[in-house]
């Protein structure tokens, strides 16, 4: 586990072995043209600049924990603790550059080997009143793994990386049981041996874990074909302060409320997910990606809606707005954007919006039907190249942020979803909120998850960093965007990033005071002393 320590310490996304992302000079030139000059500043602070207080885990608890997991799996070295002191939001990254802003460092890191050890660790934490932050890939962008203490004197990070096994495969029911710490690529590798795939590929895929996917209601890039992660969950096993909790015996049930859907999305506040039974599918024999240009965002969204409501969505369906399309073309090396734009204009596409479609497995007929719909709507086929460019770079977004931060750019994403009739209003209001608070930022947007009744909107914001108050700059913008989303119950505060600390203030607007009371009551029932992930979800 310590191989990735330097990456984690830097707050960097890039996993071991993956290429570090350098920004192409052309992309930097384009960006500066769009957002203005930026000043390289705020280098990542050296460890020595970060004050790490001594661990406050009671000695007796430390002893009991070490007896459970083995002394080598209870870490209180400052570097190990620092490396798991939060997620990877822009503010998390910024804090590694401004340590004076405060980093919540856990008192220890515990690495249990299996679900039984997780349960025993919780029992010790209950008896010594130690807070517990469940930790998978550490990729939260909403403060979901920040080591807050709540009312506890000490808090430990429960790192699930040793729970990395494929427990079982039931090829008849097409259900696999995976331990919570299995990362995306490892899940696919282990399932592929049995001829199966999970098909869950979010942007955090390289680092994020099965437990994290479940805890946050993750949605992968192929969600139109494979469903959101909660659609894949056949069952969950959780460790809670009240003991083990198992849910899920059938594909569907009317045995009261679906408690799986309460565990899924509980973000570590109702228990530590230790195993997930997931629906799997045969590995597709082929995959095919293609791209189109649609004229204008409004026509593009109508087209995606049309496909969704006719049951014709490609497994990956991704529509970029005009600015994101321009950015994709500018940042994908080798594109002759001027030529392309002229070509498209001659074909009636004045405001190109890139539509990327991905098909897994046999798709001939569906593709032909979609192509007909797209042609009828005036879309122009761009072939496979832009889709493959997206594919190549699809996990790079988070990694690019480190390079952008070095450049002095304020860069962050936020996302929401709503029903189709309000998608235009939601798009406009979020952009307006960002403009009102950030001056003239570059705001890119895409729809990457579409449903019969609505779709998600995913925004990327780029603007020169306010060197005097970089944290305040983003906090104001984020607050304005969140208020625009929940005002009048216009959209959800998160379509797939979850709540964590950052969205907690807005949850009441979405689920009501009663909704929060119900969540708090459920938490008290399973976690009466409140040791689980203090300060998350219900604030």
128 beta partners = none
Rounded least distance, CB 261 to its own copies, Å:
4
Taking CB under 8 A as the binding criterion, the range among 35-43, 65-73, 210-218, 316-324 that sits at the site for its own copies is 210-218
Binder among 101, 242, 350, 376 for its own copies (CB under 8 A): 242
CB of 201 closer than 8 Å to CB of 221: yes
Binder among 36, 43, 515, 539 for its own copies (CB under 8 A): 515
Closest CA to 198 of 148, 246, 234, 252: 234
Closest CA to 402 of 100, 96, 136, 101: 96
Pick the closer one to its own copies by CB: 281 or 388.
Answer: 281
Q: Which two structure tokens, joined as six digits, stand for 499?
A: 């709540």
Taking CB under 8 A as the binding criterion, the range among 1-9, 97-105, 168-176, 321-329 that sits at the site for its own copies is 168-176
Does residue 116 touch its own copies according to CB under 8 A? no
Pick the closer one to its own copies by CB: 74 or 277.
Answer: 277
Binding mask 41-80 for its own copies (x = CB under 8 A): ----------------------------------------
Alpha helix (H) ranges present in 332-443? Answer: 337-346, 364-376, 385-393, 397-407, 423-438
Does residue 307 touch its own copies according to CB under 8 A? no
CB of 225 closer than 8 Å to CB of 485: no
What is residue 254's three-state secondary structure? coil
Q: At what angle do helices 59-69 and 115-128 cross, to 10 degrees?
A: 170
CB of 270 closer than 8 Å to CB of 526: yes
Taking CB under 8 A as the binding criterion, the range among 17-25, 39-47, 83-91, 173-181 that sits at the site for its own copies is 173-181
Does residue 286 touch its own copies according to CB under 8 A? no
Beta-strand pair 409-419/352-360: unpaired
Hey, how many other C-beta atoms are within 10 angstroms of the C-beta on 168?
11
Pick the closer one to its own copies by CB: 8 or 449.
Answer: 449
Binder among 143, 265, 534, 535 for its own copies (CB under 8 A): 265
Rounded least distance, CB 469 to its own copies, Å:
29
Query: Token match 């300060």: residue?
Result: 535
Binder among 52, 104, 344, 520 for its own copies (CB under 8 A): 520
Pick the closer one to its own copies by CB: 160 or 177.
Answer: 177
Report the alpha-carbon distance of residue 406 to residue 214 in Å, rounded: 33
Rounded least distance, CB 523 to its own copies, Å:
9
Q: State the number of binding residues for its own copies (CB under 8 A).
A: 86
- Kindly write down the DSSP assignment for every residue of 489-508, as one continuous string: G-S-S-SSS--TTTTHHHHH
Structure-derived torsion over alpha carbons of residues 15, 20, 48, 97, reported in degrees to the nearest 10: -100
Binder among 261, 342, 364, 392 for its own copies (CB under 8 A): 261
Q: At what angle do helices 470-486 and 423-438 cross, to 10 degrees?
A: 160
Report the alpha-carbon distance of residue 499 to residue 494 in Å, rounded: 7
- Kindly write down the DSSP assignment for every residue of 90-137, as one continuous string: HHHHHHTT-GGG-----SEEE--SSHHHHHHHHHHHHHHT-EEEEESS
Pick the closer one to its own copies by CB: 333 or 525.
Answer: 525
Binder among 255, 339, 346, 468 for its own copies (CB under 8 A): 255
Burial 207-243 (b: 16+ CB within 10 A, else e): bbbbbbbbbbbbbbbbbbbbbbbbebbbbbbbbbbee
Report the alpha-carbon distance of residue 270 to residue 259 in Å, rounded: 11
Rounded least distance, CB 222 to its own copies, Å:
15
Does residue 141 touch its own copies according to CB under 8 A? no
Does residue 253 touch its own copies according to CB under 8 A? yes
| Residues 221-240 contacting its own copies, CB under 8 A | 228, 230, 234, 240
Taking CB under 8 A as the binding criterion, the range among 44-52, 103-111, 167-175, 335-343 that sits at the site for its own copies is 167-175
Q: What is the DSSP letter of 47?
A: G
Backbone angles phi, psi at 457, to 5 degrees: -125, 130
Q: Which two structure tokens, joined as six digits, stand for 487?
A: 């005002």
Closest CA to 131 of 121, 120, 116: 121
CA 107 vs. chain centroid, Å, equals 26
Pick the closer one to its own copies by CB: 76 or 244.
Answer: 244
Does residue 455 touch its own copies according to CB under 8 A? yes
Rounded least distance, CB 458 to its own copies, Å:
12
Rounded to 5 degrees, what angle do the CA atoms 89, 158, 101 make? 35
Pick the closer one to its own copies by CB: 84 or 449.
Answer: 449
Binding mask 478-497 for its own copies (x = CB under 8 A): -----------xxxxxxxxx
Rounded least distance, CB 202 to its own copies, Å:
11
Binder among 53, 59, 193, 254 for its own copies (CB under 8 A): 254
Rounded least distance, CB 224 to its own copies, Å:
11
Binding mask 412-431 for its own copies (x = CB under 8 A): ----xxxxxxx---------
Binder among 6, 22, 151, 452 for its own copies (CB under 8 A): 452
Does residue 151 touch its own copies according to CB under 8 A? no
Rounded least distance, CB 272 to its own copies, Å:
13
| Residues 332-391 contacting its own copies, CB under 8 A | 365
| Residues 495-514 contacting its own copies, CB under 8 A | 495-499, 503, 507, 510-514
CB of 480 closer than 8 Å to CB of 437: yes
Rounded least distance, CB 136 to its own copies, Å:
15
């Amino acid at each position: 586990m310590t191989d990735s320590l330097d990456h984690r310490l830097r707050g960097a996304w890039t996993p071991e072995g993956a290429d570090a992302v350098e920004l192409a000079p052309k992309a930097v030139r384009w960006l500066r043209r769009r957002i203005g000059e930026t000043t390289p500043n705020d280098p990542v602070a050296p460890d020595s600049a970060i004050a790490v207080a001594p661990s406050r885990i009671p000695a007796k608890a430390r002893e009991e924990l070490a007896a459970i997991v083995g002394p080598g799996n209870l870490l209180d070295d400052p570097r190990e603790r620092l490396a798991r002191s939060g997620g990877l939001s822009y503010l998390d990254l910024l804090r590694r550059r401004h340590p004076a802003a405060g980093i919540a460092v856990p008192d220890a890191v515990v690495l249990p080997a299996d679900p039984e050890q997780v349960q025993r660790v919780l029992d010790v934490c209950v008896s010594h009143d130690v807070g517990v932050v469940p930790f998978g890939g550490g990729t939260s962008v909403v403060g979901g793994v920040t080591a807050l203490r709540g009312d506890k004197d000490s808090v430990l990070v429960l790192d699930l990386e040793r729970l990395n096994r494929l427990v079982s495969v039931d090829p008849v029911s097409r259900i696999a049981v995976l331990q919570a710490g299995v990362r995306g690529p490892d899940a696919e590798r282990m399932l592929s041996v049995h001829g199966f795939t999970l098909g869950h590929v979010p942007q955090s895929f390289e680092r994020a874990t099965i437990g994290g996917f479940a805890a946050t209601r993750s949605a992968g890039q192929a969600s139109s074909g494979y469903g959101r992660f909660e659609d894949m969950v056949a069952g969950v096993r959780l460790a809670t302060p009240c003991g083990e909790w198992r849910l899920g015996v059938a594909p569907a049930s009317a045995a009261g409320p679906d408690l799986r859907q309460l565990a899924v999305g509980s973000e570590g506040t109702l228990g530590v997910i230790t195993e997930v039974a997931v629906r799997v599918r045969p590995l597709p024999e082929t995959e095919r990606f293609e791209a189109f240009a649609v004229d204008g965002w409004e026509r593009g969204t109508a087209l995606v809606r049309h496909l969704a409501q006719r049951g014709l969505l490609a497994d990956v369906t991704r529509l970029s707005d005009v600015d994101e399309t321009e950015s994709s073309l500018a940042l994908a090396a080798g594109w002759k954007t001027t030529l392309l734009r002229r070509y498209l204009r001659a074909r009636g596409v004045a405001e190109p919006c890139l539509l990327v479609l991905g098909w897994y497995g046999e798709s001939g007929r569906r593709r032909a039907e979609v192509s007909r719909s797209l042609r009828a709507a005036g879309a122009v086929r761009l072939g496979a190249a832009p889709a493959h460019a997206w594919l190549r770079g699809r996990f790079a977004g988070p990694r690019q942020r480190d390079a952008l931060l070095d450049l002095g750019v304020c860069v962050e994403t936020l996302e929401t979803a709503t029903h189709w009739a309000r998608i235009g209003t939601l798009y406009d209001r979020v952009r307006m909120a960002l403009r009102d608070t950030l001056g003239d930022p570059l705001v890119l947007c895409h729809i990457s998850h579409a449903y019969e009744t609505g779709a998600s909107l995913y925004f990327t914001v780029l603007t020169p960093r306010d060197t005097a108050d970089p944290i305040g700059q983003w906090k104001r913008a984020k607050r304005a965007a969140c208020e625009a989303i929940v005002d009048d119950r216009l959209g959800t505060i998160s379509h797939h990033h979850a709540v964590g600390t950052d969205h907690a203030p807005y949850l009441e607007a979405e689920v009501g005071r009663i909704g929060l009371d119900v969540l708090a009551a459920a938490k008290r029932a399973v976690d009466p002393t409140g040791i689980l992930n203090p300060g998350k979800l219900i604030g």
